């Protein structure tokens, strides 16, 4: 099974890449994600990915520089640039850096599969007794039953967990249990549920790290193994749920013990304002800033620091999340749904939805009804 690393500074787009396709069925699995070049280098050392999907435009270290460093350290890694810039200059630099392929946002699953077909011959031969195709065939039974609805549900639950951690939401433990319930239909240890469980673990550990909680306070003193190894050793869904819930509970307690900062309180107020006003088609960063009585430039900086993404991206995220719920309810005209989530033009709403999820609202309805 070939290992894939996703590098993009936008959390929602990392979700999009991870959930967009059935990686396992094609002989791949997402082994790690990174928000920037420095984090990507650390993750690459840890997980040794065969394929890296790298956004060109990132803060601190852009994709061009990262690709050069990855090639220096991992000679056989295959790198594919992901970008919204269809500019010849980028392509020239990509070729000089040793990048093997290029995906232009937005793209669909078919384009992703075509890219994987092109780069597969450049990937190293796996050192196993069976090739990647056989492994994929064995694992496809579980992965194939993951419907579009399940993938969307897991993505939505993950969003709720991230926001719940940041907002000190008391219902966060139920969201974690809900995510695990979605996976219990699969066999413990299979590739797909294993990757999803690792994702849940990564969420809480990343959050703890961002908040500066010391390792010994998050982790039980009697634990002498890495968190990912400890999770795998649980051996069953019941034990894994008990252990993971315990970890989340400890981190939540640490969060509650910390006095809210001015920045975190402002962030919470901005989130609340967006939740209440997302249906307003004129909602903007400036309006949110006015609603919480601060300068818009200051709020943008605080929001980015607290969440990792922009105010506008979060507004879009909330609108799209609500749109998915309305689409699942059925019997609603597209124009009504569009207006309900803050889009006066249904055509623009459809384009925005497809850009975010890779399918149109109509296609999404058909997908989840299968």
Residue written as token pair 């469980």? 197
pLDDT at 140 over 50: no
In the predicted model, is pLDDT for residue 347 greater than 60? Answer: yes
Asked, for residue 288, whether it belongs to a domain, the answer is: yes
Selected residue with higher pLDDT from 255 and 71: 71
Distance of CA 17 to the CA centre of its chain: 7
- Residue 142, pLDDT above cutoff 50: no
Is residue 242 located within the same domain as residue 284? no
The pLDDT of residue 190: 80
Which tokens go with 224? 């002498």
What DSSP letter does each residue of 322-356 carry, written as one string? HHHHHHHH-S--HHHHHHHTT-S-HHHHHHHHHHH
Question: Has residue 100 been placed in a domain?
Answer: yes
Residue 26 lies in a domain: yes
Interaxial angle between packed helices 346-357 and 11-19, expressed in degrees from 0 to 180 and rounded to the nearest 10: 70
pLDDT, residue 185, reads 80
Which pLDDT band, with edges at 50, 70 and 90, does 202 fall under? confident
Q: Is 90 exceeded by the pLDDT of residue 335?
A: yes
Does a structural domain hold residue 210? yes
Q: Report the SS3 class of residue 35.
A: coil
State the pLDDT confidence band at 155, using cuts at 50, 70 and 90. low
Q: What is the pLDDT of residue 258?
A: 66
- pLDDT for res 281: 94
Q: Which domain holds residue 316?
A: 262-369
Residue 137 in this model has a pLDDT that exceeds 50:
no
pLDDT of residue 50: 94
- Residue 186 above 70 pLDDT? yes
Q: Report yes or no: 113 and 162 within 8 Å, Cβ to Cβ.
A: no
Q: Are residues 70 and 18 in the same domain?
A: yes
How much is the pLDDT for 2? 92
Lowest mean per-residue pLDDT among 7-16, 63-72, 210-219, 295-304: 210-219
* CATH number, position 7: 3.40.50.2300
Mean pLDDT across 307-315 = 82
Q: Do 310 and 336 fall within a single domain?
A: yes
User: Does 170 lie in the same domain as 103?
Assistant: no
Q: What is the pLDDT of residue 48?
A: 92
Let me know whether 314 and 277 are in one domain: yes
The pLDDT of 201-215, averaged and rounded, is: 75
pLDDT of residue 362: 85
Residue 150, pLDDT > 60, answer: no
Task: Look at residue 138 and tell me whether its pLDDT is greater than 60.
Answer: no
Share of the chain above pLDDT 70, in %: 76
Both 279 and 205 in one domain: the answer is no
Same domain, 273 and 216: no
Q: Is the pLDDT of residue 139 over 50?
A: no
Is the domain of 71 the same as that of 159?
no
Cβ atoms of 136 and 116 within 8 Å: the answer is: no
- Pair of tokens at residue 232: 């795998």
Decide if pLDDT at 264 tops 70. Answer: yes
User: Is the same domain home to 249 and 267?
Assistant: no
Average pLDDT over residues 255-262: 72
Give the pLDDT mean for 225-237. 81
Query: Where does a domain end: 257, 272, 294?
Result: 257
Residue 170 lies in a domain: yes
Report d(CA 357, CA 106) in Å as an integer.
9
Reported as a single tens digit per residue, the pLDDT across 109-118 is 778 888 898 8
**pLDDT for residue 209:** 75
Q: Is residue 24 located within the same domain as residue 101? A: yes
What is the mean predicted confidence (pLDDT) over 166-177? 72
Q: Which residues, listed in sequence order, are joined to residue 7 by a DSSP beta bridge? A: 34, 54
Q: Beta partners for 30?
A: 4
Rounded to an integer, the average pLDDT of 87-97 is: 58
- What pLDDT does residue 341 have? 95
* Total domains in the fold of the chain: 3
Name the residue with higher pLDDT: 290 or 93.
290
Q: What sign results for the dihedral spanned by CA atoms 22, 313, 160, 44? A: positive
End-of-domain residue from the set 100, 121, 142: 121
| Within-domain flag for 79 | yes
Query: Is residue 144, in this structure, part of any structural domain at all?
Result: no
pLDDT over 80 at 213, yes or no:
no
Judgement on whether residues 250 and 276 belong to the same structural domain of the protein: no
Residues in the chain: 370
Q: Which of 167-171, 310-314, 341-345 has the highest mean pLDDT?
A: 341-345
Q: What is the mean pLDDT of the chain?
A: 78
| Domain membership flag for residue 349 | yes
237 & 313 share domain: no
Domain end (from 69, 102, 121): 121
pLDDT tens, position by position, 53-90? 998 877 777 788 888 889 888 888 999 988 765 545 55
Q: Two tokens at 41?
A: 């280098």
């Amino acid at each position: 099974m070939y290992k894939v690393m996703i590098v993009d500074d936008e959390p929602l787009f990392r979700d999009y890449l991870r959930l967009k396709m059935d990686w396992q069925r094609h002989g791949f699995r997402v082994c790690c994600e990174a928000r920037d070049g420095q984090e990507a280098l650390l993750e690459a050392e840890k997980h040794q990915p065969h394929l890296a999907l790298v956004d060109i435009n990132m803060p601190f270290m852009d994709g061009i520089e990262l690709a050069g460093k990855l090639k220096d350290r991992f000679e056989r890694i295959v790198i594919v640039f992901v970008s919204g810039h269809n500019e010849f200059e980028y392509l020239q630099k990509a070729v000089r850096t040793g990048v093997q392929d290029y995906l232009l946002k937005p793209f669909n699953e078919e384009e992703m599969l075509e890219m994987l077909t092109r780069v597969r011959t450049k990937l190293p031969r796996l050192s196993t007794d069976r090739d990647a195709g056989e492994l994929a065939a064995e694992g496809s039974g579980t992965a194939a039953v993951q419907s579009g609805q399940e993938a969307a549900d897991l993505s939505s639950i993950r969003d709720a967990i991230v926001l719940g951690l940041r907002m000190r939401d008391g219902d966060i433990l139920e969201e974690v249990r809900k995510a695990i319930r979605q996976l219990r239909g699969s066999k413990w240890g299979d590739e797909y549920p294993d990757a999803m469980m690792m994702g849940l673990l990564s969420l809480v550990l990343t959050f703890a790290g961002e908040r500066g909680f010391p390792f010994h306070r998050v982790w039980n003193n009697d634990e002498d193994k890495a968190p990912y190894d400890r999770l795998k050793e649980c051996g069953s869904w019941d034990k894994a749920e008990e252990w993971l819930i315990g970890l989340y509970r400890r981190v939540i307690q640490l969060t509650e013990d910390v006095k809210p900062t001015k920045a975190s309180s402002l962030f919470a107020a901005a989130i609340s304002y967006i939740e209440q006003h997302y249906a307003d088609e004129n909602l903007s960063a400036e309006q949110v800033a006015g609603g919480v009585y601060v300068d818009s430039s200051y709020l943008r900086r605080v929001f980015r620091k607290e969440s990792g993404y922009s105010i506008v991206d979060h507004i879009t995220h909330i609108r799209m999340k609500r749109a998915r719920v309305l689409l699942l309810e059925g019997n609603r005209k597209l124009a009504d749904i569009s207006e309900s989530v803050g889009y006066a033009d249904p055509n623009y709403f459809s384009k925005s939805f497809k850009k975010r999820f890779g399918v149109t609202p109509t296609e999404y309805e058909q997908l989840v009804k299968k």
